[in-house]
Amino acid sequence: MDSFERGLGSVAIEVPGEIPTTDRGRVPNRDLAIRYDAAAPHWHRRMRWLGYPEAYARLFTRLQAAARLRSLAAGGRVLDCGIGTGVLSLALAHVAPVQQVVGVDIAPAMLREAAANLAAAGIRADLRRADAHRLPQPDASFDAVVSAHMLEHLARPDEAIGEMVRVLRPGAVLVIVATRSTLADHLIRLKWHHVPISQDQLITWMRSRGLRDIEVRSVGRKLSPAHWLSRAFVGRKA
C-alpha cells in the first residue's frame, strides 16, 4: 500500500494509493470521492449554515444525560465512519472525554479538512482513506463508533453496519445519523444520488448485527434544517 502522512498538530492522515471500486448507491466510489473532494473546501461552512454543529452537540448532550455514552465515561477511542470534515466528531468531543478520533472517508480532501479542524480543536486523530465495507481497524478496538449520512451512499449498508459493530467493544455505543426522506432531501438527492434508508430497515439491520437498546432520536431543534434532514439511531453492542 502506497501511503503518506501529513502531520497537522496531533493529526496524521494515511491514504492508500487505490480505494475499492465497490459502487456506493448509484454513484461509483471514484466519482463520489471526486464530488466530495470538490465540495470539501466549503463543506464545514455549509454544515454550520444547516445547523449541524449545534444539532450534533444537542444530540450528544441528550445522550450523555441519558447515560447512553457510558462507554466513553473514562475517555476512549472513537471511530468516525465517513468523517467528512469532522463535524460529528467535534461535537462529540465537546460533550464526552474523547482521547482519540480515528476517521475514515473515501475523499482525501475531506480528510485534510477534518485533519485541520480536529488539530485546531486540540483533538488527537488518525485519519485514513478507507471503504466502510472493509474497515482496516481490528475487532473490539473502539469505545464508540459514529457515522453521519454515509450509509445512504453504500451498495451494501448492512455490511457496513456489521463492520462498525465488529470494531466496537462490547457494551459500546453506535450512533448513526441518517437522512430523512423529505422533499428537501429529494432535491439534495438530485446532486448526490444517495438512497435513503427507511427507519424500520435501519433498525432491522442494526438489530441483526448484534445491537441492543436501539432508539431513534431527533437531530437539532424543530425549526432547523438539520432537524428536517436527519435523524439519529443509537444502539449498544451486546
pLDDT tens readout for residues 47-85: 999 999 999 999 999 999 999 999 999 889 999 999 999
Q: Is residue 2 part of a domain?
A: no
118: domain CATH number is 3.40.50.150
Mean pLDDT (whole number) for 11-30: 54
Q: Is residue 48 part of a domain?
A: yes
Q: Is residue 5 part of a domain?
A: no
**Which structural domain range is residue 15 located in?**
11-237
* pLDDT of 195: 74
Asked which of 37-46, 76-85, 182-191, 206-215 is least confident by mean pLDDT, the reply is 182-191
pLDDT of 143 over the 80 cut: yes
Q: Single out the residue of 34, 37, 25 nearest to residue 151, CA to CA.
A: 25
Residue 83 amino acid letter: I
Domain count of the chain? 1
Distance CA 236, CA 214 (A): 7
Q: Is residue 3 part of a domain?
A: no
pTM passes above 0.85: yes
Q: Is residue 132 part of a domain?
A: yes
**Exposed/middle/buried for residue 16 (C-beta within 10 Å: 0-12, 13-18, 19+):** middle
pLDDT of 192 over the 60 cut: no
> For 23-26, which contacts have Cβ atoms below 8 Å and span 24 or more sequence positions?
23/155, 24/106, 24/153, 24/154, 24/155, 25/152, 25/153, 25/154, 25/155, 25/193, 25/194, 25/195, 26/193, 26/194, 26/195
pLDDT category at 155 given cuts 50, 70, 90 is confident
Q: Is residue 17 part of a domain?
A: yes
Half-sphere exposure of 55 (CA within 13 A, CB side): 26
pLDDT of 20 over the 50 cut: no
Q: Give me the percent of the chain exceeding a pLDDT of 70.
A: 83
Q: Is residue 205 part of a domain?
A: yes
Q: Is residue 105 part of a domain?
A: yes
Mean pLDDT of the chain: 87
* pLDDT of 21: 41
CB atoms within 10 A of CB 119: 18
* pLDDT of 184: 60
